[in-house]
Amino acid sequence: MTDTLNEVPDGTSSVRHHAIWLILIGLAVAVLVIIGVIVFTSGGSGVTAEQQLASVRHVCVQWSGNSAPRLGTNSASATCSTMAAWMNEQLRNGQMTGPMMWGTAAAMGATCRDWLNTESRASISASASSAWCDEMVGWMEQHIGNWDGWMMNGNMMGGDAAGNGSGT
């Protein structure tokens, strides 16, 4: 006993023909879903990580103007700039993302402490004090207001997305 499938003129069965079409349609739908997810989740705010980093540096410099402690012989402002340059390297090398480094106060503190253990920090100070990071992040927390919302708005303390803010 043999089962014969209906064959279309090109020699393939209609079941196989339909299966191929279903697979192609399924792949097309999957591609469209992936494209949609990428488009709708890729920074709807239009604020880049570089703009956020400029804001982090700006706020750190603002903090440094409020009798912040020195790290070594450099001013806190120079230290902020050196740390921001290191963070920028992390972004460019794909080592970390903005949210990983400054998405929360805890992340910002951890990133600062990570930076303390680098040659970048060693170039400005022989000593590394996590208290410097703790004081900076503590000041930021007191002055930012809504840590969760600033990244989408582009600036930690108001102003434009380039980090030029009104700060208090």
Do 35 and 53 have their domain in common?
A: no
- Are 90 and 20 in a shared domain? no
Q: Are residues 97 and 130 in the same domain?
A: yes
- Domain span at residue 26 reads 1-42
Mean pLDDT of 4-16: 60
54 and 30 in one domain? Answer: no
Share of the chain above pLDDT 90, in %: 5
**3-state class of 165 per DSSP?**
coil
Residue 14 sits in the same domain as residue 92: no
pLDDT in tens, 97-156: 888 888 888 999 999 989 888 877 766 666 667 888 888 888 888 887 677 666 666 556
What ranges in 42-97 are assigned the alpha helix state H? Answer: 49-64, 76-92
pTM here is 0.61
In 3D, which of 137, 150, 75 has the Cα closest to residue 109? 137
**Rounded-to-integer distance, Cα 102 and Cα 107, Å:** 5
| Same domain for 86 and 24 | no
